Amino acid sequence: MQHSRPSPQSSGPTGRPAGQNARPGPGNGSKAAAIPPPSKQRGLSAHGTRGRKSYAAIDLGTNNCRLLIAKPSADGFIVVDAFSRIVRLGEGLASTGRISDAAIDRAIAALSVCADKLRRRHVTLARSVATEACRRAANGAEFIQRVYRETGIALDIISAQEEARLAVMGCHALLEPGDGPALIFDIGGGSTELVLVDSHGDGPPRIVDWVSAPWGVVSLTESEAFDHADPGQRLAAYGRMRERVSGAFAGLARRLPRGADGIRLLGTSGTVTTLASLHLNLPRYDRQAIDGLIVPCESMRAISASLSAMPLAERQTLPCIGTERADLVVAGCAILESILDIWPAERLGVADRGIREGILRGLMDRDGVVM
C-alpha cells in the first residue's frame, strides 16, 4: 500500500482482524453511496469506478473510530465500505491526563476491524488521523506506537487547525446557497472547531477565522457532572456547561461579523445528526434523511432544552440516542446552543460527513484524480 505524503502518515495494515461492525448509525455499513465534489450538487453516480484505485480515511476521535473506503467517480467518489464504532478513547482523560488501558483496548479492537477492511478492499492509498485525545494525552505517542505494532495502522496526530480544515473540506458542499457569511462547526468528543468561511467562487471555501475550543461531548461531560436526581441541579449544571463553552468561544465571538444578512450555519457531528433525527421523529438513524437536512435553529434549541431537562433513564429510551449516547448528548446540546448564541442563524444545515471525506478528497487530489 502506498503511503500518503507529505507529513500525514497512512496505514499499511498488517494487524489481525477483530470484532464486527457497531450499531447501525452514521457511517456504518458497506452499501455504496456517492459523495459529490464541492462543485457538484448532491447527485449520485456509480459509473466510472471499475478498475480505479481504492482510497481510505480513518478518523480516530475522542469518542468514535470511523473508516471510509472509496473509489473516485465522475461525480465525486463512491463509498465502497465504511465502519464506525464508539470507543470512548478520551474516557477519564480529563482527570488522569492519560488514555486508559480499557480505552486503548477498545480503540485497538476497532482499528483491527479497519485494518482487515483495508486489506480485503485492496486499498492503495490511505491516511489515518487521531485528534484531541491523542493531542492531549501524556501517553498519546506511546498509544500510537502500540496501534502500529498491533494493527499496522500508522496514525498521524493532527493539529486542531488541520482537523478544522479537513472538516470543512469534507462537508462544505452542504452549505446553503447564498452570499452571506457562513460558519461551519464540528462538535467532537474532546474539542469543538468553529470555522468562519468565505464561500464565494468555485472550489473549497476560504477559511477566514477559526477556533478550536477544548470542549467536546466527552471532555465537557467529564468536567461538569450533570445527571443529578434533582431537576434543579441538572438545570444549574447545564448552565455551567454553557458558561464553560461560551468562555472558550468568546475570542472568536468578538471577531465574528455582526448584523450581516443571510448568515449560514452548517454542523457536522454526532450531536447535530442525533438532534436532527429527533427533529424528524425517526425510529432509527437514517443517513439519507439526515445528510443535507436543513433544520430551523429554534427546533434544535427546543430539542436541546427538552433533553437537558430529562433524567438519564428517559434519554436512554429515545430512538437514535440509546444507552451509548445518552450520557453525552446533553453536553453536545450545551455546545450547540452556545454556537447558536454567537451565530444566530435561522437555519442549521446538518452534515453526516466531515474529516474522513476531507481526507479522501485530499488523497485523490494529491494522486491526480480528476473528478
DSSP reduced 3-state for 304: helix
370 pLDDT tier (thresholds 50, 70, 90) = low
Cα-based distances in Å from 339 to 184, 195, 297: 10, 11, 11
Determine the pLDDT at residue 201.
Answer: 67
Determine the pLDDT at residue 315.
Answer: 96
132/127 Cα distance (integer angstroms): 17
pLDDT at 274 over 50: yes
**Greater model confidence, 306 or 37:** 306
Model's pTM, two decimal places? 0.84
**Greater model confidence, 201 or 365:** 365
Chain segment 54-98, per-residue pLDDT in tens: 999 999 999 999 999 999 988 789 999 999 999 999 999 999 999
99 pLDDT tier (thresholds 50, 70, 90) = very high
Q: What is the mean pLDDT of residues 274-282?
A: 97
369 pLDDT tier (thresholds 50, 70, 90) = confident
pLDDT at 349 over 90: yes
* Protein fold of 171-351: Nucleotidyltransferase; domain 5 (3.30.420)
Determine the pLDDT at residue 57.
Answer: 98
Quote the Cα angle for 309-313-316, to 5°. Answer: 95
pLDDT at 50 over 60: no
Q: What is the mean pLDDT of the chain?
A: 87
- Grid coordinates in use for 273? 445528526
Which CATH number is 2-161+356-366 given? Answer: 3.30.420.40
Phi-psi region of 14 (alpha: psi -120 to 50; beta: other; left: phi over 0): alpha
pLDDT at 142 over 80: yes
pLDDT at 32 over 90: no
Residue 330 · residue 314 · CB < 8 Å: no
Give burial (CB, 10 Å; 0-12/13-18/19+) of 137.
buried
Determine the pLDDT at residue 42.
Answer: 32
**Greater model confidence, 254 or 38:** 254
Domain range annotation of the chain? 2-161+356-366, 171-351
pLDDT at 45 over 80: no
Q: Do domains 2-161+356-366 and 171-351 have the same CATH topology?
A: yes
Integer distance in angstroms from the first to the last C-alpha of the chain? 22
